[in-house]
Every structure is written in C-alpha cells, then in structure tokens.
C-alpha cells in the first residue's frame, strides 16, 4: 500500500533545539552538582533508537562525570497496556547504587517509560530520574514523573532529530509534523 504521508511544518528549528538542549543540560548539571562532593558519576540510559541524537547533543552540554548505556525495547502494540513490552537490548553494566538518568526521545502515553522505570528501579539504583526531548502530556495514560524536558508537544505525530516514521526521517536536523495517514508509532 502507498504511504500517504508527507512532511508538514517545522515545529522546532535546529537552532531552537540547540539552544533548548543547552538550557536543559545546564539544569541537569545544576541538579547533580547540588547533590554535593564527591561528584558521583551519572549513568545516562538512552532508549534506542529515537533518543540517540538527543543524547549525543545533551551529553556534550554536561559537565558532571557521566557514562552512557543503551536500552532497546519492543513497542506495546495497539493494546494500550505495557504487558507486551520487553527488552530487546539490555544495559551492558549494572546500575545498583548508581545515579541513573533515563534519556528519552518522547514520552507520549507513558506506557514505555513506566515499564522502563519499573524495570530499572528493581535493579536498585541510588536515584532514578527522567529527561525527555519531547513531552506529550495530553496523551498520558500512565502517570510518570518527568524531571527534565526540552519541549511540550500537542497531539500531532512528529519526526526528525532522531524520531522516525517507519525508520525514516530520523536524520532531519529539526522536528516536523507528519501529515497524512495516521502515523504508526515505531520506536
């Protein structure tokens, strides 16, 4: 079947994104610096694939000691619960006793993030916080606490800056609305 989707208007330009990521990076620096000496290492847990560009930009704004690790999980499909979610690629190191910051592309219903948080919490981190590039609070099904966010978005499906439509358009330097046939969520 023909894909009847086209790129719509630009929502966030590359310049606006860059400025905002710097602000959020500074916010994260302040939070962890205030936790006092000796400065503890923060494990940035990036959720693939949508979050990889945000992580790459964010990490260069951080002045605290950090390590990065990656997690890939399956989507929850159309059932509207996190029952079907599973880990496709797990972290390469343990996080017990560590300061952990989850770095997400977008928090929509919250189903994916709530699964991730439950799973990571069970591993006994010292702290577990969340930073997301985009937050679509209007669609939230499961309440999840988001500590740092770059931008709020409305109902429209968006692509670019790591976010895809059927694996396409992750490479756009800006964020655009996708127009046309109901876009499928594909992390």
> Looking at the annotation, which residues are catalytic?
108
The correct pick among 106, 117, 128, 130 for binding ligand 5GP (CB under 6 A) is 106
What is the arrangement of strands in the sheet containing 42-48, beginning at the earlier edge strand?
87-89, 66-73, 42-48, 99-107, 127-135, 148-152
Q: Is 163 one of the binding residues for ligand 5GP (CB under 6 A)?
A: yes
Task: Compare residues 103 and 159 and give the one whose CB is closer to ligand 5GP.
Answer: 159
Helix (H) or strand (E) holding 84: none
Residue range at the interface with ligand 5GP (CB under 6 A); choices 15-23, 33-41, 91-99, 101-109: 101-109
Compose the 36-75 pattern: x for residues touching ligand 5GP by CB under 6 A, - for all others.
--------------x-------------------------
Contact 83, 112 (CB under 8 A): no
**Longest CA–CA separation in the chain, Å:** 58
107 touches ligand 5GP by CB under 6 A? yes
Q: Which of these segments, 21-29, 63-71, 86-94, 103-111, binds ligand 5GP (CB under 6 A)?
A: 103-111
Interface residue with ligand 5GP, options 28, 112, 131, 135 (CB under 6 A):
112
| Collapsed DSSP state (helix, strand, coil) of residue 146 | coil
End-to-end Cα, the chain, rounded Å: 21
Alpha-carbon span 135 to 126, nearest angstrom: 25
40 DSSP 8-state letter: P
Residues forming the site for ligand 5GP (CB under 6 A): 50, 104-113, 157-159, 163-165, 185, 187
């Amino acid at each position: 079947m023909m894909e009847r989707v086209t790129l719509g208007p630009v929502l966030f330009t590359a310049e606006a994104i860059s400025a905002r990521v710097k602000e959020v990076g500074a916010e994260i620096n302040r939070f962890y610096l205030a936790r006092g000496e000796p400065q503890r290492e923060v494990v940035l847990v990036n959720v693939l694939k949508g979050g990889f560009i945000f992580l790459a930009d964010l990490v260069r704004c951080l002045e605290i000691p950090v390590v990065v690790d990656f997690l890939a999980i399956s989507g929850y499909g159309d059932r509207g619960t996190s029952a079907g979610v599973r880990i496709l690629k797990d972290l390469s190191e343990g996080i017990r006793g560590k300061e952990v910051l989850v770095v997400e592309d977008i928090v929509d219903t919250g189903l994916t993030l709530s699964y991730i948080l439950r799973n990571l919490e069970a591993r006994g981190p010292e702290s577990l916080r969340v930073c997301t590039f985009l937050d679509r609070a209007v669609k939230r099904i499961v309440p999840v606490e988001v500590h740092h966010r770059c931008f709020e978005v409305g109902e429209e499906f968006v692509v670019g800056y790591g976010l895809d439509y059927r694996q396409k358009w992750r490479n756009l330097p800006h964020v655009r609305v996708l127009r046309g046939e109901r876009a499928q969520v594909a992390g």
